[in-house]
Chains A and B, each alone.
Chain A
Amino acid sequence: MSRPLIDVSSLAMRYPTGRMALTEANLTLSAGELVVILGANGCGKSTLLRCIAGMLKPTSGQIQVAGKPISSLSGRALADARMALGMVFQNANLVKRRSVIANVLAGTLGRHRTLATSLGFLPQGERSFAEACLAEVGLQSFAAQRAGTLSGGQAQRASVARALAQRPLALLADEPVASLDPEASEELMTLLRRVAHEDGLGVLCVLHQPDLARRYADRILGLKDGRVQFNDKPADVAEVAVAALYTKTPEPVAA
């Protein structure tokens, strides 16, 4: 197997308050793989994802994204390195007053840093590609509709289309099903798995639902109090190990 798309080694993150959000975190993500990060609230899942996306600077440790040390980049170099990463957020984060296709086209803006796009024009040359991205998520008939009129599940799928329009190597999804009903959640997870298995993207997905993780993930990474508890195939992850992620450990008393 070639080099992993994302390689995180001995990552540590300390917040200004002194609390350790992450300790000695290691993680790899390869092309064609769907990895789910599980853990209770405040276990460091989002922090880990934000570090990988270069939105937070880790206290120590290395993060390689497609061979680039994203945590030590800034400005234009950081923006270029981020192009390899498509983000899917908890909320779809679409521009509600714009059409669905305009939102997907906006995903290509990183490749089109021209005067015209700076003035608010969309890169029309990408229209057929954006339509293909919409078709990929099953929303081609919604192209002309305002994004604000989509249902929660549709909006989240449109945001996946926007991420795909960016032509990323990997998708980072931060609790993408948190605000979706069970049916829409299944649809979205099916979509993410297909993106990984058929399109060959690496997908890293933070979830709150152990059952979804078991059914869709190629690998599950359990995180508790900022430490990786396990990192295995779903079949090799014991129920008790998952349950242990959600049992409270008493807050360490500050010395």
Chain B
Amino acid sequence: MNGFALKTMPSPAPQKAEPRRRLHPLTFVIILFGVALFLQSAIVVHARPQDLITGAAGIADIVSRSMPPDFAGLPDALWPALETIDMGLFGTAIALIFALPLSLFAARNTTPAKPLYFLARGLIALARVVPDLVWALIFVAAVGLGPFPGALAIVIHSLGMMGRLFAETIEDIDMGPVEALTMTGASRLAVFTHGIIPTVIPSLLGITLYRLDENIRSSLILGFVGAGGIGFQLLTAMNLFQYRTVSMLLILTFIIVVGAERISAALRQRIA
């Protein structure tokens, strides 16, 4: 221990370092608490590593039954694939249109009145804290099966996410130009479009593109609750034990997700 301290500290200070090495009682309590927290979670989730070992055979069985992927079904999967992508596109576009004005009300420095601020923040919180899967369940119940309820779910959930990030971006801007334009006698709206929009547009576009990527991924999941697209195909194939179709769909999913991520990242790099 002493040798280690000497190596790292060239100055002759091993004695000085001695009291520093002692654990603060509070640190000890926090570490103990963290360990206890983890242990209870392991118990609650029935974490039994041996199940993985006994289940390995099952996994191997499924993998072998899903090989080779059945590409004969690919043409039938293309339309659902388009549905999945379009749910994300449509949902993001509509969310963007509504998030822009909403974020103005929800940013402390641009809100026209305090009550509107709280209202906007409340709407955003509600849209955000309810997971998109739950929104999809609600909309499937309301408008029936298909991609439209999925798109609606994405609109609402992204409206919350984008509204909050937009509002935070607006709150972070330098208010100097806004003050300067206000003093030129420009209208309130003109101050916004000339003073704030040009400043925040790259960030807002970046957030939107990031969201588009997320939304295409989540529209895959939404299919599982009946909101159309690849997800729904995947669920059906699983239920019919068509594992070779499942593996084909997973490959297609992988291509869509990686493609969306790459395109979104490339575009974001462009505007940065």
Interface residues of A (CB under 8 A from B): 53, 55, 79-80, 82-83, 85-87, 89, 91, 93-98, 106-111, 113, 117-120, 122, 159, 162-163, 166
Which one of B174, B179, B186, B199 lies within 8 Å of A106 (CB-CB)? B186
Q: Are B183 and A82 in contact (CB under 8 A)?
A: yes
The docked-state distance in angstroms from the alpha carbon of A136 to that of B57 is 82
The docked-state distance in angstroms from the alpha carbon of A80 to that of B184 is 9
Most buried by A among B176, B201, B202: B176
Q: Are B187 and A159 in contact (CB under 8 A)?
A: no
Please name the residue on chain A nearest to B200 by beta carbon. A97
Q: Are B193 and A106 in contact (CB under 8 A)?
A: no
Q: Are B184 and A98 in contact (CB under 8 A)?
A: no
What are 22 inter-chain pairs, A to B, with CB distance below 8 A?
Answer: A55-B183, A79-B187, A80-B185, A86-B183, A86-B184, A93-B174, A95-B177, A96-B199, A97-B199, A108-B184, A109-B184, A109-B194, A110-B184, A111-B185, A117-B190, A117-B193, A118-B187, A118-B189, A120-B198, A159-B180, A162-B180, A166-B185
Does B195 count as interface, using CB distance less than 8 angstroms?
yes
* Pair count A-B, CB < 8 A: 79
Q: Which B residues are CB-close (under 8 A) to A86?
A: 183-184
The docked-state distance in angstroms from the alpha carbon of A203 to that of B202 is 37
Q: Are A120 and B193 in contact (CB under 8 A)?
A: yes
The docked-state distance in angstroms from the alpha carbon of A89 to that of B37 is 54
Does B141 count as interface, using CB distance less than 8 angstroms?
no
Known contacts A117-B186, A117-B190; 16 further A-B pairs (Cβ under 8 A): A82-B183, A87-B180, A93-B174, A95-B194, A95-B198, A97-B199, A106-B181, A106-B195, A107-B184, A109-B184, A109-B194, A110-B184, A111-B185, A117-B193, A120-B197, A159-B180
Query: A79 with B185: in contact, given A93-B179, A118-B193 (CB under 8 Å)?
Result: yes
Within the complex, what minimum Cβ distance (angstroms) separates A134 from chain B? 16
How large, as a class, is the contact surface on chain B?
20 to 34
Query: A93 with B177: in contact, given A98-B198, A109-B194, A118-B193 (CB under 8 Å)?
Result: yes
The docked-state distance in angstroms from the alpha carbon of A122 to that of B198 is 12
Which one of A93, A113, A117, A122 lies within 8 Å of B180 (CB-CB)? A93
Q: Are A106 and B183 in contact (CB under 8 A)?
A: no
The docked-state distance in angstroms from the alpha carbon of A120 to that of B190 is 6
Query: A109 with B185: in contact, given A94-B177, A97-B198, A118-B193 (CB under 8 Å)?
Result: yes
The docked-state distance in angstroms from the alpha carbon of A159 to that of B180 is 9
Q: Which B residues are CB-close (under 8 A) to A166?
A: 184-185
Please name the residue on chain A nearest to B194 by beta carbon. A106
Residues in B161-211 with C-beta less than 8 Å from chain A: 174, 176-177, 179-181, 183-187, 189-190, 193-195, 197-199, 201-202
Q: Which A residues are CB-close (under 8 A) to B195?
A: 95, 106
The docked-state distance in angstroms from the alpha carbon of A108 to that of B187 is 11
Q: Which B residues are CB-close (under 8 A) to A162?
A: 180, 184
The docked-state distance in angstroms from the alpha carbon of A8 to that of B179 is 23
Which one of A87, A118, A120, A122 lies within 8 Å of B183 (CB-CB)? A87
Q: Are A91 and B198 in contact (CB under 8 A)?
A: no
Q: Are A118 and B190 in contact (CB under 8 A)?
A: yes
Q: Which A residues are CB-close (under 8 A) to B176?
A: 89, 91, 93
Q: Which B residues are CB-close (under 8 A) to A106?
A: 181, 184, 186, 194-195
Most buried by A among B184, B186, B194: B184
The docked-state distance in angstroms from the alpha carbon of A162 to that of B184 is 9
Q: Which B residues are CB-close (under 8 A) to A163?
A: 184
Within the complex, what minimum Cβ distance (angstroms) separates A191 from chain B? 17
Q: Are A89 and B179 in contact (CB under 8 A)?
A: yes
Query: A82 with B185: in contact, given A89-B179, A95-B199 (CB under 8 Å)?
Result: yes
Within the complex, what minimum Cβ distance (angstroms) separates B255 from chain A? 36
Within the complex, what minimum Cβ distance (angstroms) separates A8 from chain B? 18
The docked-state distance in angstroms from the alpha carbon of A55 to that of B175 is 14
Q: Are B183 and A85 in contact (CB under 8 A)?
A: yes
Q: Which A residues are CB-close (under 8 A) to B198?
A: 95, 97-98, 120
Residues in B198-240 with C-beta less than 8 Å from chain A: 198-199, 201-202
Within the complex, what minimum Cβ distance (angstroms) separates B197 from chain A? 6
Most buried by A among B189, B193, B194: B194
